[in-house]
Amino acid sequence: MKAQMDILVVNPNTTASMTEKIGEAARGAASAGTRIIAVNPKDGPPSVEGYFDEVFAIPGMIGEIQRHPAASACVIACFDDTGLDAVRCVGEMPVVGIGEAAFHMASLIAGKFSVVTTLSRSVPAIEHNLVRYGLASRCARVRASDVPVLELEVPGSNARHRISEEIERAIRDDRAEAIVLGCAGMADLAAALSREHGLPVLDGVACAVKLCESLVGLGLSTSKRGGYQVPLEKSFAGIFAPFSPSGRVS
């Protein structure tokens, strides 16, 4: 009998209602033997919208990961893949960002895909990641729907309508064959938008969970050679003292 697989899903922002939505999406994608542990830090920004927010989200996110050392794998549930490289240094478990996961999944089912994200300030970070992952040529365009992240949590807002309109433009103007939703807060919209527009609409949370299950099932872990080596043992100062690396793999 196979042991239960625990996947830690970390929302880097502090908005608990969004974490609940993300957790539901992750559980909907998970296999029967997978337990989803969805968490968010108590310290940090309520949403991650751009480079500035990202910096202040990472310490709290790493703290949550350090509190769950026995997890089989970890999902970073922010589409910018906030702190992904730093988290991969924390331990040996596979760590998958929802942006990277969705890009790779989309590239397997479509020649060209477009990304529909929240605000325009997020576009440069997403475009940078596409280049870094070697998938920029597969992305027709990164589009902003001009929906603030926290508006996705407001009952009765027209956020879904604006996202749908941007998908329509991507199909018409970009000739997109698939759509990647560029925010974890959109996770609950993917299936309905796919039916509405008649093409695959990918939610990165679900994609990341399935990739984590595959990596764990294959017995693969994060390489400890090169950039993802265990951090050098040293003492950090001030408020970051609790994050001081021990030099050991947890």
In three-state secondary structure terms, 201 is strand
∠ CA 224-221-29, rounded to 5°: 145
The answer to whether 99 and 211 are in contact (CB under 8 A) is no
Beta-bridge partners for 34: 5
Q: For residue 77, is pLDDT > 80?
A: yes
The full set of domains in the chain, from first to last, is 5-97+207-243 (3.40.50.12500), 99-204 (3.40.50.12500)
Q: What is the pLDDT of residue 3?
A: 66
Helix extents (H) in the chain: 16-29, 51-66, 84-88, 98-109, 123-132, 159-169, 190-197, 204-217
Q: Mean pLDDT throughout 35-45? A: 97
Q: For residue 99, is pLDDT > 60?
A: yes
The dihedral through the CA atoms of 91, 102, 100, 123 has a sign that is: negative
Q: Mean pLDDT throughout 147-175? A: 92
Q: What is the pLDDT of residue 128?
A: 97
* 105-151 tens-digit pLDDT: 999 999 999 999 999 999 999 999 999 999 999 999 999 999 988 89
> What are the b/e assignments for 185-202, b being 16+ CB within 10 Å?
bbbbbbeebbeebebbbb
* 116 Cβ contact partners less than 8 Å away, ≥ 6 residues apart: 143, 145, 163, 166, 167, 170, 179, 180, 181, 182
Confidence at 23, pLDDT banded by 50, 70, 90? very high
Q: Which tokens sit at 12? A: 């880097």
Map tokens 């996961």 to a residue.
101
What single letter denotes the amino acid at residue 131? V
Q: What is the pLDDT of residue 2?
A: 54
Beta-bridge partners for 116: 143, 181
Dihedral pair phi/psi, residue 71, rounded to 5°: -60, 145
In three-state secondary structure terms, 170 is helix
Measuring CA to CA, how many Å separate 212 from each of 72, 145, 221? Answer: 9, 29, 10
Q: Does the predicted model carry a pTM greater than 0.75?
A: yes
Q: Mean pLDDT throughout 63-71? A: 94
Closest CA to 196 of 228, 226, 167: 167
Q: Which tokens sit at 72? A: 């089989």
Confidence at 4, pLDDT banded by 50, 70, 90? confident
Q: For residue 158, is pLDDT > 70?
A: yes
Q: Mean pLDDT throughout 1-11? A: 84
Q: Which residue has the higher pLDDT, 175 or 243?
A: 175
Q: For residue 170, is pLDDT > 90?
A: yes
Closest CA to 16 of 47, 40, 44: 40
